[in-house]
Amino acid sequence: METKANGMFVNLPVKDLNASIDFFTKLGFTFNPQFTSEEAACMVIAENMYAMLLVEKYFTSFTKRVIPNGEKSAEVILALSLESREEVDTLVNKAFEAGAERFNEPMDHGFMYGWSFQDLDHHLWEVFYMDESGMENE
């Protein structure tokens, strides 16, 4: 039997919830007030895709593991597929203007273009556009 999810929630620890909400709002994301409190905010990424921004103390109530230092380690890279190269550049530049740090320079593989940044808590975001019609068939 094939497993097929109908949505995804990614839980991310944050130091300052209000600063994170402000940062992602500047990038154009919205928040679901039904799942937002002083300890957490539900960021809407796309239909049925969400990032739960959880204050670090609250995040640790879900796991016994230590929150890694994002400046020194990475546990995950969050990859967002957008509709065009221009949308990639627009979103990443908005992130820089809102206080994100550069992670990688833009990469262009012809059929795929991407650029990445670190948010305020050093979570890695890879933003890309892929033109599948430009891919070589093997």
Q: What is the pLDDT of residues 84-138, one digit of tens each?
A: 999 999 999 999 999 999 999 999 999 999 999 999 999 999 999 999 776 665 4
Domains of the chain, by residue range, sit at 1-62, 74-138
Q: What is the pLDDT of residues 29-88, one digit of tens each?
A: 999 999 999 999 999 999 999 999 999 999 999 999 999 888 898 889 999 999 999 999
Q: Hey, do 1-62 and 74-138 end up sharing a CATH topology, with the first three levels equal? A: yes
Instruction: Give the per-residue pLDDT at 138.
Output: 46
Q: What angle do CA 68, 42, 48 make, to 5 degrees?
A: 105
Hey, is 18 helix, strand or coil? helix
**Residue type, position 96, single letter:** F
- Report yes or no: 42 and 34 within 8 Å, Cβ to Cβ: yes
SS (H, E, C) 52-101: EEEEHHHHHHHCCCCCCCCCCCCCCEEEEECCCHHHHHHHHHHHHHCCCE
Instruction: Give the per-residue pLDDT at 137.
Output: 55
Q: What angle do CA 7, 89, 103 make, to 5 degrees?
A: 80
- Report yes or no: 88 and 115 within 8 Å, Cβ to Cβ: yes
Instruction: Give the per-residue pLDDT at 71.
Output: 87
| 26 membership: H or E segment, kind and range | helix 17-26
CATH of domain 1-62: 3.10.180.10
Query: Which one is the CATH code of 74-138: 3.10.180.10, 3.40.980.10, 2.60.200.30, 3.20.20.70?
Result: 3.10.180.10
In whole angstroms, how large is the CA radius of gyration of the chain?
16
Instruction: Give the per-residue pLDDT at 136.
Output: 62
